[in-house]
Amino acid sequence: MPVPNMRVLFCFTILLVAGLAADPSLIEKGKAEERRACVGCHGLQIIHVQRLSRAVWDRELTKMVNWGAQIREREALLEYLATSFSEDKPPAELRLSAEGTARK
């Protein structure tokens, strides 16, 4: 069996990575869905500080739907969450509320 050419392997790797990259329009649609479907019950910080795998984000969306969330663009929302707040992202900076900053 012949050994693949390094150039072929490199091109294959580039194509694979490009295929795995998230579609920017899908991400924007997911971000809009987050604002529409999620902020009625809680702020965005509770979402944005989490670092979860795609499978766990999927379970979270199922849980929220079972609690009454009306998610219209589930795949877009899942893609946005899994891409933007995945477990490989650095921890988010926690911000204190107005009440938290007033206490000493």
Express each pLDDT in 64-89 by its tens digit: 999 999 999 999 999 999 999 999 99
Number of domains present in the structure of the chain: 1
Inside any domain, residue 68 = yes
Inside any domain, residue 13 = no
- CATH code for the domain of 72: 1.10.760.10
Inside any domain, residue 40 = yes
Q: Which domain holds residue 60?
A: 22-91
Inside any domain, residue 10 = no
Burial class from Cβ neighbours inside 10 Å (0-12, 13-18, 19+) for residue 55 reads: exposed
Inside any domain, residue 39 = yes
Angstrom distance (rounded) from CA 64 to CA 103:
33
**Tokens of residue 93, six digits:** 């900076």
24-35 pLDDT, tens digit each: 999 999 999 999
Total length of the chain? 104
Question: Which of 21, 47, 37, 20 minimizes the C-alpha distance to 73?
Answer: 37
Question: Which of 34, 43, 27, 38 minimizes the C-alpha distance to 76?
Answer: 27
- Binned at pLDDT 50, 70 and 90, residue 22 comes out as confident
In what helix (H) or strand (E) does residue 75 lie, and over which residues does it extend?
A: helix 74-84
